Structure 1
Amino acid sequence: MQRVVYMQDRDDGQRMKDVVYVHPPSYRGEEFPNPAGLPRPVVGGLPFPWVTPMADGKPLFREIERVKAELCRRLWGCQVCGMDLDSTAWVALKEPAEGSAVVSSAAIHPACLRLAVQYCPVLGDPAMGYAFTEVYEDDIVAVTDESPNRNGRAPAARWHLRAATETSRPDRVRTFHSLSDVRG
């Protein structure tokens, strides 16, 4: 059994700590109404990502189920399909640079990334200018957000791409890809 701690937004704008106990790989199973695996269920013509919550039997495509996202991050799972990742996976970054903020807290399989950029209006928007890169599990690190203009609903820590020199493979060359590279 593994203890997973995550932060949950409250209605009053504050954040509270919540704890879930899981037994891998049961975190993918029947406890959740949207089980892991491929192909993803299609709802309203859109694939239903594993981290997308349901309300009244319908997916909330603009939301992320925080406990699932945290499980993916802590247990090295894909946020699109919910299955275990290989030794490497992909993340979207705010910019193509070491230390750049990761768009989401969890990584994605290459095939799931192509699915995400095809259907997600945010990830697939060229105007957002996101960069994409292949990562190992230790390439992503939490960085505390201490900015004075951080609102109370924003997470206290954001995930960033750790510099390759600070990882277990310091001599490797990291490659950044554009949206068109990922779609190709």
Structure 2
Amino acid sequence: MAIAGVTSGFLAAYGYQWVYAANASGTLLAACWLAWSYRRQRERTQPGRRDEQADVTLVGPWRDVSFLRSIAALILITLAFDQMYVTLALFLREHYQLGPQWVGYLFTINGLMVVALQLPISRRILRWGLGLSTQLGVLLTGCSFLWLNVGHSVLWPILMMVTLTFGELLLSPSYAHW
């Protein structure tokens, strides 16, 4: 992920068509790898047949109010988080007059922080508890984009990405938990 951020940023500086060509190449390579892996391992890619005789009654998620509240909250915070992918590049260009390579730099910060800090933060979350870490992650994610309105220095987008990444690291266990 860290390499993709830098690479995409540099490719975007030469034209977005190169970013899309690289994305297509990577996706095709992944598809070929999966096809080769399935053939090589001779794994079945179709789900097994369900036993018609089994009489199992499962309680659906629609009756679990706590689960539904958590999912609704995660959807709302994801809407805020995904602004990184949707509007950040436009804002950096218009407000800061930064080129597309800066999106790559910021995603590189994100990727490197995730690689370096995911395990230590996950260990801390075991001590803090999932509820506290999720609340702190939501707070950091929600406030991260406010840094972009503070000034016009490159420091503010960097601080935004660092704050957003800490929020992401604190929220990610709650996504996996539910």
Name which structure has the greater RCO, CA cutoff 8 Å, separation 6+: 2
Q: Larger radius of gyration, structure 1 or 2?
A: 2
TM-score normalised by length of structure 2: 0.24
* Structure whose residues are more often strand by fraction: 1
TM-score normalised by length of structure 1: 0.23
* Structure whose residues are more often helix by fraction: 2
